[in-house]
Amino acid sequence: MAQPFRQVAIFGKPRADAGRLALQSTLREIARIVEAGGQSVLFEAATRDAGGLDPYPGYTLAQIGATADVAVVLGGDGTMLGIARELAPFNVPLIGINLGRLGFITDVAVAQMPEVLAAMLEGKYETDRRALLEAEVRRAGEVVFRARAVNDVVVSRGVTGGMVEFTVRVDGVTMYNQRADGVILATPTGSTAYALSASGPILHPSLAGFVLVPVAPQTLSNRPIALPDSVAVEIEITDVRDAGAHFDMQAFTSLAPGDIVCARRGRDVVTLLHPIGYNYFATLRSKLHWNVMPADGHTRS
Tens digit of pLDDT for each residue in 133-172? 999 999 999 999 999 999 999 999 987 778 999 999 999 9
- What is the percentage of the chain residues whose pLDDT exceeds 70? 95
> Residue 98 belongs to what domain range?
7-125+275-288
Q: Identify the H or E element spanning 184.
A: strand 182-186
Number of H helices, E strands in the chain: 7, 18
Least confident of 20-34, 73-87, 270-284: 20-34
Position 58 pLDDT exceeds 90: yes
Q: What is the pLDDT of residues 75-113, one digit of tens each?
A: 999 999 999 999 999 999 999 999 877 789 998 999 999
**Domain presence at residue 45:** yes
**Domain presence at residue 281:** yes
**Domain presence at residue 211:** yes
**Domain presence at residue 297:** no
Q: Is the dihedral of CA 254, 209, 131, 72 positive or negative?
A: positive
Report the pLDDT value the prediction gives residue 161, as an integer from 0 to 100: 72
Verify that 14 and 63 share a domain, yes or no.
yes
Verify that 88 and 159 share a domain, yes or no.
no
| CA 147/CA 249 separation, integer angstroms | 11
Q: What is the pLDDT of residues 207-244, one digit of tens each?
A: 999 999 999 999 888 999 999 999 999 999 998 788 99
Residues noted as catalytic = 77
How many domains does one find in the chain? 2
**Domain presence at residue 231:** yes
| CA 91/CA 69 separation, integer angstroms | 9
